[in-house]
Amino acid sequence: MASGELLGKVTHFFDKINVAVIRLDRTVKAGEMVHFLGRSTDFEQAIDSMQVEHQPVSEGAPGTEVAVKVLQRVHAGDSVYRLNG
């Protein structure tokens, strides 16, 4: 069970470069801690870098898709939560 608020869902995963595409329901900022949670996914990490349309950004807005470097494999449909702390 995840704590924190739902930020969005993973829509795609690029396994060769370990990048997840997240469709955002809420704003997320670089440096925030998030929790990836799904059927076979469960880990926490900081958002170190984000891109929108291949351009680095420090913040992702609701309704957009951001690409995030991830530490582990994720899957389409996994939920992404902001960790309160």
pLDDT digits (tens, 9 = 90+) for 41-73: 999 999 999 999 999 999 999 999 999 999 999
Question: Strand, helix or coil at 64?
Answer: coil
> Which residues, in sequence order, are bridge partners of residue 45?
34
**Residue 48: phi, psi to the nearest 5?**
-85, -40
pTM tops 0.85, yes or no: yes
Mean pLDDT of all residues belonging to the chain: 95
- By residue range, what is the domain housing residue 31? 5-82
Q: Report yes or no: 71 and 34 within 8 Å, Cβ to Cβ.
A: no
Pairing of the two strands 79-82 and 33-37: antiparallel
Looking up residue 63, the CATH number of its domain turns out to be 2.40.30.10
Give how many domains the chain has, as a whole number: 1
Q: Give residue 50's pLDDT.
A: 96
Spatial strand order of the sheet with 65-69 comes to: 42-46, 33-37, 79-82, 5-14, 19-24, 65-69, 50-52, 55-57
